[in-house]
Structure 1
Amino acid sequence: MYFKRDYEVLDLLLAAVKPEYQGKGINALLFYDLVPIYIKLGFVFGESNPELELNEKIQAQWSYFESKQHKRRRSFIKKITE
């Protein structure tokens, strides 16, 4: 595989696991297989997609890495009255 790039940041696209397989280490298998490949390709950082701040399972996933939250998105609802 040959491609030219000058990027150090990998964009981790959205991945989902079927409910019957959740909590069984599927994400761990993906990371176990893919992280060494990403490192070999020269990536230094990974950027995840928006995640719920209160989703403890997702937040715990990043505890195995040296991570830093550098972006935050929030949505608010404001009722418009007539």
Structure 2
Amino acid sequence: AAVANEYFVGAINRVGVEELGPNDFYGTSYFVDPEAQFVGEVASDKETELVVRDLDMAKLREVRDRWQFYRDRRPDAYEPLTAP
């Protein structure tokens, strides 16, 4: 997750080895807040877990007000790139 991505991010991964190949999945699923800080503990790297977290949606406004990426954007500068 990037610093000040302005979103909550849930990163998921299973654990163990699949029957169809030698893929060893390392688990450690997690959630990060809009400032890339973990929300709660990271999941196990050995045991299957269901990760559930309460996400503070007020944090979105707080980060967006502080970083101002939306305020400072210039849609006119990239409008030709998005035209049909």
> TM class by shorter-chain length?
under 0.3
1 or 2 for the larger relative contact order (CA 8 Å, sep ≥6)?
1
**TM-score under structure 1 length normalisation:** 0.23
Which structure shows the bigger proportion of residues in strand conformation?
2
Which structure shows the bigger proportion of residues in helix conformation?
1
Larger radius of gyration: 2
